[in-house]
Chains A and B, each alone.
Chain A
């Protein structure tokens, strides 16, 4: 039994194909005016990495401040701004576009056997909106920041703070349209651009996950947009809709905000789950167990996701009956999520498992997401939620799902498709090390926060009682390890652009259509539109293809 499935071409003769989407045209303008979904994905990859490291630096500042019980590194209001900007940048400028706008953008058309997304110009517009929004958010940060937290909770954001709420709100408004256009483009592409034979149930589950996430983007984001417009109007004109003194209702804002922002966590996690499907199947050489159930579980998460938003408001004064109903509905989301985890476990069962980097990250995802998801049940139960909400428990829960889940999935996907995107392999040993370092660092950082939360340490304060210090020191120490874990990929992936081994068309022996073409791909992906005549994840079909190749060459 071999310990790897990697099959690379003979390095002494292998060459990167001369004509590919990277070399087709040159010059800055050929990138800035491109309609090619793959180039836009690369633009997105560079920009979201930039924002990730800004958000990460802010996280570092937060952990540094919390090293000691007193607020000594920065003033308390600076601390408020730092954690607010950390949340805003990480959520709206990293997590929401992370997998969809980079990997989804790059691979959905290829997986479907299409030449491009249905609306290439809208795709480019979406990137420009993202960049404009990002710049506006950075401008708001540099000129004084915002200290409402990423939730903009009224009446704090409308009446009590004098920071850059309007600028930041507009930035998120614009970023929202970028996200809407991405989602809209995906839905249209998935409906209308599939190659002959590519039926709905032959699509890779990565595409299904993006379809579900796109529904959320298209239906949820406009509600966030109007909520932010109302906050801006309330601040500038004083319209009164969120002002109790005028008869308005601050809770209305929260309903509108969470109507988007709860589904938003599924916008963030679903594409990550899509990545995990592809990786787990490829590295255990098996079709994903229960394909149909996994496909529908994505859609179920999207549908249920719209009916749970008030679980963010259990202590905000919503009625007891609402708490009961929303608590029950929240539990329902655990069902499709568990279906996914169980089906991945059964995919591994009796598979020929190998442990390349993407697989290590995926294992990290499965473990951490399961913990993150199960602690979500604690928070969905109103009794425990009243004790745990607004403590570090919720911070730990959210980071287990978003960092332990989504970021791991993003890195899994990035490593998995890196050979296809660049034509070169990343260095295997050091990247495995990075995956392990990330996992250890992550647990050190966030597991202590569960304990801190149950002990009652509130979130969003720069200082805390001295008895919490030991666990906070653990957490900060873990964050430095985590930081190393995230820096490593930047270094070796950049290195690999020039020095990595030539990957060839299909280094992982994966079944997706994107692997049946050259790496990096041609501008319009395929020389001829493929015909899909087999099921997804059909490894026997792949074997037959290889045999045919051998006989035809021989």
Chain B
């Protein structure tokens, strides 16, 4: 099983990395952004396996992005590895603070409370004109261990970086999903009380999943900020979080790669509908969402996953 997983991961890396050669500039950028957002969604999928969905993952996406930007702008740090690490750390701390609190909430209340938290961050950032208020801040292009590429090499380097992180994070999450903890999470989804009676702590599991989601959100936010070169409070707005949830639902909780495929599909649909239907792109996007929800109730993952038995 393990060796098969690593083989799969290596193959995924090879295929994705090949994109840096074949893809045109705009598509490579689009994929890099989609993969960065996919990381955030992977965190939501982790929680979804336990039966809760965070409607406020923008909180960590935003904290990650702002941590990287503020550190880069105040201390002149531009190394992408260091920035990612620092943002992940910041999100880890915040996640550990809120995780235990949120772990006793379920369903719509978990969704709404997490949404409220991210909206509070949105409101606070909008008020702070020192750091740009609603207009946000710019962040310079990253360097890679001292190497400072420009133009296409920069985009390629960023893309390879996000691909590497996606493959590593995806593999680790898969290992976690298949671990004892991960399987208990899945059991929680079916029946929480039964899991409690069996002696496992559901609250602890929920906290773990939440903290993993926080860290992934922070990493995704950092990469997105570096790729875009700009952050603003919109990163924490509810529509941003809603989009992450949509990707997670589109992917389903069965398959890890499906999350990233779903993220790329959404970006493509949005980008093309925006161009071809500038006046009715929301309509097009809405119809697309409905079609997906109707046709694939368990997400893309159910198309290829072998765990169809679980999908009840």
Tell whether A pairs with B. Answer: no
What is the interface of chain A, defined by CB distance below 8 A to chain B?
Answer: none
